Amino acid sequence: MKAAYIKHYGNINDVQLDEQSKPSITENAVLVKVHAASINPLDLRVLEGEFKAILPVKFPFILGNDFAGTVAQVGSNVTQFKVGDEVYAKTDLNGAFAEYTVIQQSSLALKPQNISMELAASLPLVSLTAWQALVEIAKVQAGQKVLIHAGSGGVGSIAIQLAKHLGATVATTTSSKNTHWVKALGADIIIDYKTTDFEQELKDYDVVLDTQGGKILEKSLNVLKRGGRMISISGPPDRNFTETIKANGLLKRIIPLLSWSIRHKAKKRGITYSFLFMQPNGQQLSQISQLVEAGKINPIVDKIYDFSQIKEALQYVNTGRAKGKVILKITE
- Residue 332 reports pLDDT greater than 80: no
pLDDT recorded at residue 53: 87
Q: How much of the chain exceeds pLDDT 70, in percent?
A: 100
Average pLDDT, the chain: 96
pLDDT recorded at residue 75: 98
Question: Radius of gyration of the chain from Cα atoms?
Answer: 19
**Residue 37 Rama label (left phi>0; alpha psi -120 to 50; beta):** beta
Q: Which domains does the chain have, with CATH numbers?
A: 2-123+299-329 (3.90.180.10), 126-275 (3.40.50.720)
Contacts of 73 (CB under 8 A, 6+ apart): 25, 30, 31, 83
- Residue 321 reports pLDDT greater than 90: no
Neighbouring-strand partners of residue 2 = 19
Core vs surface per residue 276-305: b (16+ CB within 10 A) or e: bbbebbbebbeebbebbeeeebbbbbbbbb
Q: pLDDT tens-digit profile of 87-107?
A: 999 999 899 999 999 999 999
- Residue 235 reports pLDDT greater than 80: yes
Q: pLDDT tens-digit profile of 153-202?
A: 999 999 999 999 999 999 999 999 999 999 999 999 999 999 999 999 99
Give mean pLDDT, residues 271-276: 98
Closest C-alpha among 176, 175, 173 to residue 205: 173
HSE-CB of 147 using CA atoms within 13 angstroms: 30
pLDDT recorded at residue 93: 87
pLDDT recorded at residue 322: 87
CB 202 within 8 A of CB 191: yes
Give mean pLDDT, residues 270-288: 97
Contacts of 229 (CB under 8 A, 6+ apart): 137, 138, 206, 207, 208, 271, 272, 274
Cis bond upstream, residue 56 (ω within 30): no
